[in-house]
Amino acid sequence: MFNLALLDIFNYEENPIAFVVTIIAICLIAFILLFLLIFPVAKRHYSFKNFQNIYYKAIRNVADIGDYYLINNLVIKNNNQLVCRIDHVLFGDKYIYVIKDRYYRGAISGNRDDSTWFFYSNDGKKYEMENPMHVNEKRVEKLSLVTQIDRSFFISVVIINDNCVIKNANELNKDNSFIVSKKNFKKIIKMVEKRDVKRMDQKQLEYAVQDISRLYGKHSYNDTTAEDIY
């Protein structure tokens, strides 16, 4: 009986409404399945191609909420020689955050004090890479040197994509240096700003921001080098 009823449904002449409804249902299910297969891949591809803008919006959001100064794409030169490039400098109430963008299409692992970490790509290959936390900490040192602002006021932050897997992630972060996913960036800034330390002098901070912006700020967001993407 069931087989006969099923045949009747697919018989357009005897049951046209049921036939049309069945075809629509099959098409809808096929579309949903196709969407579920394609969407994650498309989302990852979009995030990889646009990670700088995505990170910028997350950082901009924190700056707007906290009423913080933000300088993007800071290029520091000495006698026309490139010293370093910093993706973002966020000026909080108590600290200055030197932020580096990273997007890893896979997983990373390494110890806090290791100069070399490892990157595991999604296709199963393993590569050596420089410890991104050390790289950004060097930038902090250089910025501290050229601005004459004490190193204790700076916090190094490496921001990475949410789907990147980090081995021993909880053991990597310390008082003045962090590697965090985009989704946890706001939480880290909020946590650090709650520390029981004196706020920076706002007048001196304003002068520092103006001087840094005038001397080094490019205010563009399209300058990406090969080392920035793994």
Same domain, 13 and 71: no
pLDDT score at 146? 84
Same domain, 13 and 118: no
Same domain, 69 and 166: yes
Lowest mean per-residue pLDDT among 95-104, 172-181, 221-230: 221-230
Same domain, 10 and 112: no
Considering the chain, what is the average pLDDT of its residues? 81
Answer with the residue of higher pLDDT: 106 or 208. Answer: 106
Give the separation between CA 185 and CA 178, rounded to whole angstroms. Answer: 10
Same domain, 16 and 75: no
- Two tokens, residue 4: 């006969």
Same domain, 18 and 71: no
pLDDT digits (tens, 9 = 90+) for 117-167: 999 998 889 999 999 999 999 999 999 988 888 999 999 999 999 989 888
pLDDT digits (tens, 9 = 90+) for 70-126: 999 888 877 777 778 899 999 999 999 999 999 998 999 999 999 999 999 988 899
Range 44-52 average pLDDT = 66
pLDDT digits (tens, 9 = 90+) for 140-154: 999 998 888 899 999
Range 20-44 average pLDDT = 72
Same domain, 105 and 126: yes
- Identify the band that residue 39 occupies on the pLDDT scale cut at 50, 70 and 90: low
Same domain, 100 and 214: yes
pLDDT score at 42? 58
Residue 144 to residues 5, 58, 89, 96, 193: CA-CA distances in angstroms? 79, 25, 12, 10, 19
Lowest mean per-residue pLDDT among 23-27, 105-109, 218-222: 218-222
**Given CA atoms 209, 136, 168, 45 in this order, what sign does their dihedral have?**
positive
pLDDT score at 47? 58
Closest CA to 56 of 90, 83, 106, 85: 90
As for how many domains the chain has, the answer is 2
Range of the domain at 109: 50-228
CB atoms within 10 A of CB 150: 8
- In the chain, the percentage of residues whose pLDDT exceeds 90 is 45
CATH classification of the domain holding 146:
3.40.1350
Give the separation between CA 227 and CA 94, rounded to whole angstroms. Answer: 31
**43 pLDDT exceeds 50?**
yes
Give the separation between CA 191 and CA 184, rounded to whole angstroms. Answer: 11
Residue 39 to residues 43, 53, 99, 107: CA-CA distances in angstroms? 6, 20, 30, 21
The answer for 168, left when phi > 0, alpha when psi is -120 to 50, beta otherwise, is: left
What's the predicted TM-score (pTM) here? Answer: 0.76
Same domain, 8 and 84: no
